[in-house]
Structure 1
């Protein structure tokens, strides 16, 4: 069992939990969807990491990302484990009702995947191109993701486009909550899906489909889930928001130890969290994907703090992809949106109090699966440079109420 060693008030330079620094709200309600990457919230709860920072965490399992969105907007939840792209979609009013949102920190990188039906996966493994496979059949194939503007939608669309497939025109994209995806694949309703674990491991274990690519192969060390809340929560409860960020930073640091992940997999298997057996959770949490090997970047929770900084360039990537797929009007100032959402100043305070190193710049660069380099400097030019893209803004993305 983990025993915090660097989290007493005396050991945190510049931080105390009395007087003007005391959290304005001490019991915080956090939502999560049953996925392996909700592990930081579960670890923070089980290890009671908030106690030193003057807060208590209550966790509330949600059936879908739409439920997370709705309860954040209504105030029923103070904060949540959320898709990066969900936060940006809500801010823009293209993923349901509009609300001013905040990203306090990134909770993890990598760790998602795409699974196809056995038939498609076997043909792909035999060297037949996916575009050729789909074109050989007269019907429109159906691929699921988890939220209209979410990370899984963007990974799925990006990967299909690299296969020469337009994800909005050549196939039918639908929204399904992660726990329902394996059954939908088994019933023939779906041909494939992108989601988080362990729902790909479940599909393979049940013989319904096969994982064909991991998200870290699409974008190595991509941003995935974030600690999200409304911006007015930060404005009204800045000390509580900072204390919550510190608590989750400590949880993420603890989870970067693989032995700790083994322990966390047991917690996650409980009925109040994921509710699936630990052997379905643990291997992929440790980077073991069986026949696919361990060549893809491991799910990262901390990485010396490099995972958790709310990089502006990460948010800008999603905005550029919304522009690419016709979801974002031309008059939106992408830089202003990213600066409003990503709470870099608050994160700096929390990380500094814990002695966590911070990057020299709020921008970072990456090279994706198609060889295109992303550094956040020109999201419009980046979006315009893709051959497969929407011609113009086509309006909202639907509200994802599943």
Structure 2
């Protein structure tokens, strides 16, 4: 389909869409698309609806109350596979929304005890009577997978050496202050705000685990994508243009940070949003740096491609940690969920480059991931659960 075809004949079947999002910095492109004229340009009105938790967002997607949403990659695949408390439902990933920009933080008590490194944390985790509790945001979500992967890389089994609980992103600081948790993995601005308020330290960024890793996606049910293909494509085009706008200049990033800090969106201090939005980090331990892999929304389309290999990676981690009891048809499922043809149509109409559907990456433990052998990859880790993960590690919270 060429540019002329889309502009002439593909009027959205449903011109008004309800779009869910969570109070996170990486919802920026969806917020910009809805509020800065990009949606209207493509014949859409986007009604933004902030959600209280990922479980609530998921349920509203499945009920049809939301047409599409800023979503965790692993949430979409968890629903597709019938994991995490919802019935298996055919889902769709329309595009990637961002790379990088999540963090693992430790509590003030651990920092005061000089537990400020992976080695020190491993020693503490393996002490008798020193059971630690870490929060992530959803049982199959990206934050659970980054937390588990990082802990395992430090020799800490995330399902047996520590406890894992689910906490919605905006509630992380309250749980930390109440000493209910010893650390967390979450998206910004909540890690930065914890550091700003001297509520512990940032021990690892997600981009230190996997540089330019996949993070949030624009997700919906497959039924919505099939029944409203023009609306779905117009939505992708609007968010693609918003993503390109954000990444075009530092001025655009600053204005976007100001916009999303508002009470109806992320509702957090600009001082907690803007620096890490710009790649400016401080960890609460006296270190400050300009990150080489900052939060990105477009990067000439490299961020937005719904890569098959990215989707397959999350399924390998579900298998690794026992969420899946058997190996699924990794590639087949990814091909069903990732809306490659629709994305290519939208990107091509905007003269945005479309990368190959598989990409290669090296993670912090030296393992290379390219999607070619998911069965072998899931079994290749020294620390894993595969079929014996305790169910308590995967309970959800609203």
Q: TM-score, normalised on structure 2? A: 0.94
Q: Distance in 1 between matches of 2:140 and 2:37?
A: 33
Give the secondary structure class of the aligned counterpart of 2:243: helix
> Comparing 289-298 with 98-107, which one deviates more in the overlay?
289-298
CA shift digits 1:377-399 (9 cap, x unpaired)? 01110111101000415587756
Partner of 2:364: 369
Are positions 1:378 and 2:368 aligned together? no
CA shift digits 1:29-75 (9 cap, x unpaired)? 10000000000011112212011211111100001101110000000
Q: Distance in 1 between matches of 2:329 and 2:215?
A: 23
Deviation, 1:205, is 1.9
CA shift digits 1:191-215 (9 cap, x unpaired)? 0000000001111122221111110
CA shift digits 1:238-293 (9 cap, x unpaired)? 01000000000001101112211100111111110011121111011001112341
Confirm or deny: 8 A CA contact 2:324 2:386 kept in the other structure: no
Q: Distance in 2 between matches of 1:391 and 1:110?
A: 27
Partner of 1:235: 226
Are positions 1:59 and 2:51 aligned together? no
Partner of 2:296: 300
Partner of 1:86: 75
The verdict on how the C-alpha distance between 1:319 and 1:126 changes in structure 2, with shifts beyond 3 A counting, is closer
Are positions 1:281 and 2:273 aligned together? yes
The two structures, once aligned, show a CA RMSD in angstroms of: 1.7
Confirm or deny: 8 A CA contact 1:17 1:23 kept in the other structure: no
Partner of 2:176: 185
Are positions 1:344 and 2:337 aligned together? no
Aligned with 1:252 (options 218, 243, 247): 243
Within a 5 Å distance, the mapping from 1:3-402 to structure 2 comes to: 13-19=3-9, 21-97=10-86, 98-121=88-111, 123-125=114-116, 128-136=119-127, 138-256=129-247, 257-290=249-282, 291-359=287-355, 361-392=356-387, 394=389, 398=394, 400-402=396-398
Partner of 1:3: none
Confirm or deny: 8 A CA contact 1:39 1:264 kept in the other structure: yes
Gaps of 5+ in 2: none
Q: TM-score, normalised on structure 1? A: 0.93
Give the secondary structure class of the aligned counterpart of 1:43: helix
Give the secondary structure class of the aligned counterpart of 1:82: strand
